[in-house]
Amino acid sequence: MEPITTNWTREELKAYILLYCAHADFIETQKEVDYIKSKVSEVDYKKIHKEFEEDSDYESIQKIEYTIEKYKYTKEEIHTLFKRIKELFYLDGTYTAAEQSIFIGLKHLLGKN
C-alpha cells in the first residue's frame, strides 16, 4: 500500500483538522461550520470539505500526521492548534466523550512532534 500524502498548505491542514474534529460526533453544526470558516478562507474550506467527505478515518489520520510532519510544526504551533480544537469542541457548551477521544488521539498523534 502506498503511503498517504497531501499537497496541502498550512491553512488547508488547519481546515482539515478542524473538520475532522467537528465530525467527532458525526454531526457538523452550523456553529462549527461558521467557526471553521472564521479560521480559514471560504476557498480552503470548500476544497478541504470536499476532500474530507471522501476520506476514511484511516486516511484522515494519515493525512494529518503526514502534513504535520511535512511542515515540521513547532510545539507552539501544535499548542495553538489544540486551542482552536478545544474552542470548536466547546461551541455547543458540552465536551462529549467522542470529542474527548478525538482530542486525546490527536494529542497522542501530534504530541511526538
Instruction: Give me the DSSP letters along 20-72.
Output: HHHGGGS---HHHHHHHHHHS-HHHHHHHHHHHHH--HHHHHHHHHHHHHHHT
Q: Which of 100, 69, 68, 71 is nearest to 86 (CA)?
A: 100
Q: Is the pLDDT of residue 113 over 90?
A: no
Q: What is the pLDDT of residues 46-92, one digit of tens each?
A: 999 999 999 999 999 999 999 998 998 888 999 999 999 999 999 98
112: which DSSP letter? T
Question: What is the chain's mean pLDDT, rounded?
Answer: 92
* Cβ within 8 Å of residue 2, ≥6 positions away: none
